[in-house]
Each structure stands twice: as structure tokens, then as C-alpha cells.
Structure 1
Amino acid sequence: MDRLQETWYRATGRADLAEALSAERRTVDFLQESISDLEARMYEPGWQELTASAAQEFSREGLRQITAVCRVMAIKSPLIKRGLSLRQAYVWGKGVEITARDPKVNQVVQEFLDDEGNQRAFFGATARQQNELSLGTDGNLFVALFTNPTTGRVQIRKVPWDEITDVIANPEDKSDPWFYRHQTWIEEQAPGGGIIQRPRVVYFPALGYRPTTRPRNVRDRHTGAPVEVRWDAPMVHIKVNALDGWAFGVGDAYAAVDWAHAYKDFLTDWARLIKALSRYAWKLTSKGSKQAQARTRLAEAASRSASGESNYAGATAVLPPDMMLEALPKTGATIDSESGRPLAAMAATAMDVPVTMLLGDPGVTGARATAETLDTPTEMMAENRRAVWKEAKTAILRHVIASSVRAPQGALRGTITQTGAREQLKLRGRAEATVDIVWPDVHEIDPLQLIEAIFKADQTTYLPPLVVARLLLQALGVQDVDEILKDLTGPDGAFVPPGVTAGQVAVDRFRRGEDPAPVTGGDEQSPDDDQNAGDARGS
């Protein structure tokens, strides 16, 4: 149709329209050919192999090999080690504050956080660095919450990633894990003598999965044999860099390993080239017998290094007139060490850190504006990783609170209702189970500006005094904020201004028509107790 219209335009003397239509047709043909060419490239063997490997998750053995390489590189490669250290510093360098809003709930939470074993495994400074490194090399972290059913006490312990062999998920929803398969090897005495090893398999339920019927044993998906289920130790799985539907994650360092190797090889070759170029510094040309005299005089001079090595830097080459010794021409070529900077930049990109910080040398890109521009995405990376940790810590602390409510000798009271395979917690009275997990701001802000902002916010009278006190202490960088706030809090959790006695607070409460008993150490009746008392009086 277009060709007929073009012919008609030419026949009627409208050549300009005919040329425009012809140009448009050629453009369309070119674009169609380009798209067809791109589609054809997707069917090349290399692309097909790549997309086929991405369509399914890495095998468990493949993940084990990847983890082994990343662990070695985290120790041996300066780039990988530095990159992972930077990530740790951005995420955990300023610590974290964890507090519950209700005083009784906060007491349970703080006892759990201050437990020596829990500090060593998960909440201590050393544990935080090790766990962040685990995500950097392994991409996975497994922790089991061993719970005492009588007292509700929770002990958190790490489970080696190498020992988790499978994740059993909801058949109808892969994103809903039910069990984690834990396999270890135990040694036993063989009947005929000697030692044999046999596998021991245990299933840990995923945290939050608590069906109404909880059998003590289930059938193993791999062997078909019955295996024990540790319902008293739900497991938390923290994974990063996993695609949708993947059961396991991949370490942060995996994408940077190849580029770190390439940068190491470049520097090795550059050092070898510099050493080769430094062997000869002088060239001596002579004829006939004079060559022998020159060699003799050079031999009388120091021709070896202090360690006895010959041909050290600065040696002299004695050649006849018809021979020439010179280095390869450097015109148009760059052989300085800065030429390998793009390789280091790729390693930095893979780990989401600026190349200036990865190399510890600002180089030519070290201007202040450039450094701040590069630093902003890194701060966003730290915020994202903090969100991952916050999600895991919130789930763990929710289990701690629920365990205290469920246990007969627990410190908290409330109700737990079953909704399918999940549970809903409600504390008694007005108590709330909300736990605040707050990281200091990544940006460096002048404390004076923060204090002025808090002071202006306090003047609005919308902020509770305890919130204002916490913000001020955090702005000043005070450690152990919770311990100081205890001195500013009465038995009922109300704010007590410094310098004011409990008697004065009790009098003020009495004048306002409130019960002074909580301030003086008496027991405050809950709304349920008031209702029961009213019923008793009515009867």
C-alpha cells in the first residue's frame, strides 16, 4: 500500500511527499531488522546458557562452592576484605537502640538482650560484625530460638549455614517456609570395630509457623525416614541477594570476586613490568677489544645487590655497535598503576561501596563533591541492610514476648489466638508489644542542631517527656540510654522529673484525682480488676 501511494505521489508531481514516504518506509524497515537482530542474539548459545542458569536456583553444592570462594577472598583479597569492612561500618558502626514501649515488656526484652549467650551469638558488637560478614560471604544466616516452655526464656544460637541442606516451604506458596532441614554427621562405634559416621537429620520449624497440630516426627523429604521436629526451637533465616522464589541467598562478595582477581592480576603484571624495566639503566656501546676492557671495569664495580642478586636495578648492558637494547615504546600507552582503577571500580560497584573508599586513596576523583555524591548511594545501601536486620530482630523479639505470655512462669500476661498456622498476640490491659529498633542517622548532624530541633518539638507539647528525654540523650551520644531512663521513670512507667521526690509526685497525682499508689510502690489495678471489683460490689 505504501509503495502504491508513493508511485501515485510521483505521478501527480508531488515528489516531496513521495520522498518523505520512502524515507519513512526505510526507517521502519531498519528498525524491524534491528529488533529481529536483537531477538536472534538472544538465541545464541552463550545467552541461552546464561538465561537457563538464571531460570533456576544454584544447586546446594554450587552454593557451597561459592561460599567457600567468598570466605577465602574475604581473608586474602584486600579489595573484598575492605569492601566487607566498609559495609559493616556503615550498617553497625554507630550501634542500635532497642526498647519496648511498655515498661514490663521492656524488662523482658532487655533481659533477653543482656543475656550473655544471646550477646555472644547475635546482639553483641562482635556478633554483629560476624553476622554481617556471614551475609557478605554466605548470603545466609540461620539462628535457632531455643525456648523454655515453663519460664519462656529464649536462648538464641547460630546454626552453621553448611548444615542447612533444604528449605521445606508451603506447597502452595514458596515464599512461606515451614521447616529447615538440618543435617550433621555423628560418629558411632561400628559392630566389627572402628568408627563410622552416619547422618543425623533434624527439622527446625520456621519462626511464625506454629500449626494447631504439631507432630513430634515428620517424614524426611529426602530419605523418607521419620525425623524429629524441634518445635521448641523455631528458626530465623536471614538471606540477601536472592531472586524471587529462591530458597537461599548469595553473598555480597560473589559479584566482586572476578573483578578483585582481575585487579590483583593487573597489579602483579604492572609490578613485574616495572621490575623488568628497572634491570638496566645504562647502555654502553664499544668496538672490538674495548668491549673486554669495559666488561672488566664494570665487573670491578658493584655488580650485585646486597643480597647477592645479580642483574639488579640499575645494571649496565654492554653491547656491540650492531646490537641495540631498549624498552618497548611507551608512546600512546599507559603503564602506570592508575590504569587498573576501572577494575577496582567494578569491584566497588559489585559491593555497593565507593571506589575512593575501597582503595583508601581518593586519587584523581577525590574531590569533596565527588566523594559526597558517591557516598549517598552507599548510605542508602546501609539503610536497606538495616531494614533487613530490623525485620529479623522484630520477629525474634515478638517471639520472646509471646513465649513469656505462653509460659506458665512467664513475666507477661495476655492471650494468644490461633489463625490458621499463625498466632496473634494480645497483652492484658493497655500494655502493647511494640518494640522500637532505632539506628543513629548515617549522616553526621551537628548535635546543636538536633537539640534545637528537639527543643522546638517539645514546645509543641505533643511529645511525651520520656520521648523528649530519649531523643536528647541520643543526640548527645550518651551510652546506655535505657539505664538513665529508668531513673526518670516511676513504677507505673510514668515520667518523673529529676529532683522531684516520689512523695511530691504522689501528692500531685492525688490532687488531680488520680491514684497515687503506683508512685508509692502500690499495686495499680488493671481495668479487668476494676470490672471484677465492680461485679463483686454489685453482688
Structure 2
Amino acid sequence: MSEVLEPERKLEDMDTDQLKEHIRVLVDQNEMLEESIRDISLAVDDFGWKPLGAAQPEQAMDLDTVKKIAETCRALVVVNPLVKRGIAVRTSYIWGGGVQLGDRSQSWYNRSVRRTMGTTLAQLELERSAAADGNLFFLVDIRQGTVQRIPMWEISGKATSEDDAEKVTYYKRTSTRYSGEQSPSYYQPGETQHVWYPSDELDTPPASQINGVRVDRSKRVVHVAFNRQVGWTWGVPDTFAVVFWSKAYKEYLENCATLARAYGQFAWKVIASTKKGHQRAASKVAQTPQRDPATGKYLDIGGTAVLGGGQDLQPLQNIRPVDFGAGLPLASLIAAGLEIPLPMLTSDPGSGNRATAETLDEPTRLAMEARQQLMDDALKSIAELLGQPDLQIEWPPLGEEPVHRRVQAIDMAGRTGMLYPDEWRAQILDALDIEDGRTEPPGKDDLPLTVQNAQQSDEPAQVDPPSRGDHELRDEGGQAHTEEV
């Protein structure tokens, strides 16, 4: 390939042939640059991975790679509306309106526990961090009885057992410690400190230092890793599986919007056989272009094309309409990566039917129950370090039946005599989420009529069978004539 002409030679000093050669060389170099960029984009697919079958002692992603992935996933959770919606659906499945951690009146449930994992806000933050980082770190102070959450970017190292690479015994934290008040008008540089913390899996007395760095023996780190495989130390974000597909779906919608904008530039067509006809038609349909109220620029949508005799221009939107819905297979991959049904992800009932939603409900429920159990084990490990080995955690039910079905089931159980009247009433109040303000149980006259009738009868109240049709003997109590063979 020819070289670009000397940069000190100005374009105005070149003749036509030199300019053509110069442009051709620039075009070639631009094509090579585009190919290089595409190669780099494809290389992202292998980002942080080692070749399969390579003679490496470790086939997992290292800490720096996980941190880089987490940076991308954090932005994706905040910016991309589909991913944000998917994480919100997962969070509502797993945490509901909040999880009750035992008795809040006990002494162990202090302000640090409430701030890090006790309130609804803290629990929603944990789930979003799990989706974006793939790892949660809790620093438990055994002496003070407090809990602190460590961000992923402050973890800088690990130490494992000699005979078990999966067993992490120490975590290294690199953080900046600030002293004094920080304000926009006054900033005092902080001090970077390096500290090792024992893991909750360490079953021997902790060391005093590692490689000359102090070990804080009064604390323990509880690490919760998501999507981890055998032999791995660090977890992988939930959103990492949908990074490329969310980008592909976003680009597809952008391209469709560009096409729709291009097709909308011509709204009318005028055909005239003479020049005067051109002018007359143009003067009748011409109008001042509208302006964008925000920018003040002329809008280039809804224009008119004036053509000559024998010429024709078909509206592009009628010939080739833009189908935004054709990109749903890309959205379905995002839904699959987040383990939620597609209709819930897109908030579009037209993207699925009832049969599809019911088919996907059971796998979704099981996946969310597995995440609940994972977090249940982690929260109980923290509570055990705080001196609460028997912590009871109340998780919200998954796939709860509608209220009217539950009331019907309770009513049928009461009518069959399986429930006492006070149990009957308590169950219905609980199903309707109504608090019972009475301090004493209701009297006989306060019970519903159906309950009073059931109490007066020794046998359970039975519902009269429905009529099977009119018959002349129905109202007389007789039986219809039947013939036996």
C-alpha cells in the first residue's frame, strides 16, 4: 500500500492526481482501522479468560478482570432500562417488601446491622450489588458486634489454604482513610491503608501479619460469591451474561429509529407533467418547516417531494415498514440471562401469552428460591458471628395465590367443619390483611351468620347442590320415573 504524502505538503499545493492518491490511501487506512476496531470488539468476548486446555494452574478469572467486568455491569444496571427492569423484577421476587431478621428488639440488632442488611433499602442495595458486582463482602467486628459492607473495589488480595485453593482464609483490603471534615471548599487528602482480615472459614488462630502487612484479628469477612464455579474464588455478576445482548438490542432499536426517521422525511408525492404544473403544485403544498421547540432547528420530517412527468416516488414506509418487534429474540436472551419471563422484562403483554407465562413461572420460582436460600445461609453466618446462631429469617412467599382464591379456600375449610369459628375468622382477616383491633374474642352474636349456622348444627354445613334442570316432581319432593332394565 502506498504511503500518505508528506504532512508538510499542503493540500492546495497538490494536483488532481495527487489528491486522488492521497484520498485513496486515507480510505485504505480507514478500512484497516475499522477492521482493527472490530477485532478489538471481538476480543472482548474472550475478556479475562484463559484458553481452554492451556497448562495453567488456575482457569478462573482473576480479581482485576472481575473488577473491570463489575465496572461495566454497574453502569448497565443504572443506564439500560431493560436490565434495570430485570433486576427490579428479580429483587421483587427475592426480597419482596423486605425480609424480617428475627426479633428486632434484641441487642444484637443494632444500628450497623439495620443499616447494612436489616432495612428494606439495605436489602435492595445488596441485590443490586450482587447483580452488578457478583460478590458481597461483610466485615463483622466480633468485639464490638457491628457489621460493615466492603465495596468490591476495595478488595485487593486473598490468601488461601495450602491444600484447598477454594478455601480463602484471608482477604486484603486497600482503602482510603480520611481524617477531618471533607467539604467542597476544603479537602484533606486521605491516607491509603492496607489491612488483612481473617475469613469466617478460618478455623485456626489468625496470624499477626502477612508479608509485612497487619492482620486485624478482631474482625471476620463473610464473602458471598454468586455464579461461582468449582475452583473459582470470585463470583461473576448476574448481568455479565446479558452485556453483549443488551448492547445488540439497544443498537437494533437505534437502527429502527433511524430507519423510521428516514422513511418519514417524505410524507407526500406530487406528479406534474409541465414546469408550470410543478410550480403551481409546489406553491399549493409548500409550507414553512416546523421547528423543534427545544432546539429551534427546522424539522426534516414530513417533507414533500415534487417530481417531474413520468417520475414516481413511492412512500418508503408503505413499501418497507420498520418492525421494532422483530428484535424481541434479542430481548428474550436478556430475559433468559436474568432468569425472568420475557413478558415481565418488556412490560409488554403482547410479547407472550398466558400459557408461556405459566410455563416459565415454575423455573423462575425455583431460581428465586435458590437465591433466597443462598442469602439465607449468608445472613445466618453473619448472625452467628454476632452471637445469634438460631436466627429465624422470614422470607416472602413466591407465587402467592390471589386473595380471592385464598378466601374461597378458607371458606370451604370452614364450611366443612375443619376450622373452629375463631380460627375461621382469623384466617380470613389474615388473608385480607386486616388487623384485628379487638382485645377479646368475638361473642356468639358477633360471628357471621354462616358461622352461627354451622355452630347450631352438629354436622358440618353443606351447600345445596345446584339444580340439574326443571322437572315436574322437583318442587313436590318426589322422584322422576326411571325405567330399569
TM range (shorter): 0.5 to 0.7
Matched, 1:75 2:71: no
| Unpaired runs of at least 5, structure 1 | 1-45, 100-105, 189-194, 403-432, 461-467, 489-496, 500-539
Q: Which residue of 1 aligns with 2:384?
A: 398
Partner of 2:52: 51
Residue of structure 1 aligned with 2:93, choices 90, 93, 97: 90
User: What does residue 359 of structure 1 align with?
Assistant: 346
Corresponding residue of 2:232: 246
Alignment of 1:93-132 (within 5 A): 93-99=96-102, 110-113=106-109, 115-132=110-127
Deviation, 1:310, is: 4.7
Structure 2 counterpart of 1:137: 132
The letter for the 1-side match of 2:326 is: S
Query: Would you say the 8 A contact 2:136–2:223 is kept in 1?
Result: yes
What letter is aligned with 2:164? D
Q: Does 1:344 align with 2:335?
A: no
Asked if residue 302 in structure 1 is aligned to residue 290 in structure 2, the reply is no
Residue 194 of structure 2 corresponds to 201
The match for 1:237 among 216, 223, 237 is 223
Cα displacement string for residues 81-122 of structure 1 (whole angstroms, at most 9, x for unaligned residues): 1111111110011433444xxxxxx688x3323x22211111
Aligned to 2:371: 385
Q: TM-score, normalised by structure 1?
A: 0.61
SS at structure 1 position matched to 2:94: helix
8 A contact 1:218–1:229 mirrored in 2? yes
Once the two structures are TM-superposed, the CA of residue 233 in structure 1 deviates from its matched residue by 1.1
Conserved? CA contact 1:94–1:439, under 8 Å: no
Which secondary structure state, in structure 1, belongs to the residue aligned with residue 262 of structure 2? helix
For 2:351 and 2:379, locate their aligned partners in 1 and report how far apart those are by CA, in whole Å: 42
Is residue 356 of structure 2 the alignment partner of residue 370 of structure 1?
yes
Q: CA deviation at 1:388?
A: 0.7
Question: Aligned residue for 1:509?
Answer: none
Q: Deviation of residue 311 (structure 1)?
A: 6.1
- Of structures 1 and 2, the one scoring higher in RCO (CA 8 A, sep 6+) is 1
Q: Deviations over 1:164-207 (max 9, x none)?
A: 1222121211222211111124689xxxxxx9987521111111
TM-score w.r.t. length of structure 2: 0.67
Q: Which residue identity lines up with residue 160 of structure 2 in the other structure?
A: A
User: Which residue of structure 2 lines up, in the alignment, with residue 441 of structure 1?
Assistant: 397
In structure 2, the partner of 1:65 is 68
Greater CA drift, 229-238 or 320-329: 320-329
CA deviations on 1:492-519 (whole Å, 9 max, x unpaired) are xxxxx999xxxxxxxxxxxxxxxxxxxx
Contact 1:454 1:472 in 2 (8 A): no
- State the AA in 2 paired with 1:204: Y
Contact 1:303–1:310 (Cα < 8 Å) also in 2: no
Q: What is the CA–CA distance in structure 2 between the aligned matches of 1:268 and 1:357, rounded to whole Å?
A: 22
Change (3 A) 1:370 1:187: closer
Whole-Å Cα distance in 2 between the matches of residues 335 and 294 of structure 1? 34
| Cα RMSD for the two superposed structures | 4.0
Task: Please report how far the alpha carbon of residue 208 of structure 1 lies from its aligned counterpart in structure 2 after TM superposition.
Answer: 4.1
* 1:479–1:125 CA distance, 2 compared to 1 (3 A): farther
CA distance in 2, matches of 1:107, 1:377: 34
Is the strand fraction higher in 1 or 2?
1
Alignment-mate amino acid for residue 343 of structure 2 = T
Task: Quote the Cα distance in structure 2 between the aligned partners of 1:245 and 1:297.
Answer: 77
Judge conservation of contact 1:279–1:311 (CA < 8 Å) in 2. no
Cα offset for 1:376? 2.1
Distance 1:474 1:380, change over 3 A: farther
- 1:279 positional shift: 1.3
Q: Deviations over 1:1-24 (max 9, x none)?
A: xxxxxxxxxxxxxxxxxxxxxxxx
Letter in 2 for 1:163: E
User: Matched residue of 2:235: which SS?
Assistant: coil
Q: 2: distance between equivalents of 1:174 and 1:453?
A: 57
Is the 8 Å Cα contact of residues 291 and 318 (structure 1) preserved in structure 2? no
Pick closer, same or farther for the CA change 1:401–1:186 going to 2, 3 Å. Answer: closer
| Aligned residue type for 2:78 | I
* d(CA) in 1 for partners of 2:107, 2:429: 21
The letter of the residue matching 1:341 is L
Q: Return the offset for 1:136.
A: 0.2
Secondary structure of the corresponding residue to residue 175 of structure 1: coil
Partners of 2:325 and 2:193 in 1: CA distance: 54
Cα distance 1:123–1:454, how it changes in 2: closer, same or farther (>3 A)?
Answer: farther
1:274 to 260, 280, 284: 260
Range that drifts further, 197-206 or 164-173:
197-206
Whole-angstrom distance in 1 between the partners of 2:116 and 2:347: 31
Once the two structures are superposed, what CA deviation does each residue of 1:49-79 show, in whole Å capped at 9, x if it has no partner?
7636997222322212111111111111001
Counterpart of 1:374 in structure 2: which amino acid?
L
Whether 1:177 aligns to 2:168 is: yes
CA distances 1:193-238 after superposition (whole Å, capped 9, x unpaired): xx99875211111114241x433x222xxxx32x221221111001
> What residue identity is the alignment partner of 1:144?
L
Distance 1:313 1:107 in 2: 61
Provide the secondary structure at the position in 2 that maps to 1:173. Answer: coil
* Cα-to-partner distance string for 1:279-314 (whole Å, 9 max, x where unaligned): 112222224422552365147x42301446556433
> How far does residue 448 in structure 1 lie from its aligned partner after superposition?
4.1
Alpha-carbon contact 2:278-2:306 (below 8 Å) kept: no
For residues 203 and 264 of structure 1, do their structure 2 counterparts lie closer, same or farther at Cα, with a shift above 3 Å needed?
same
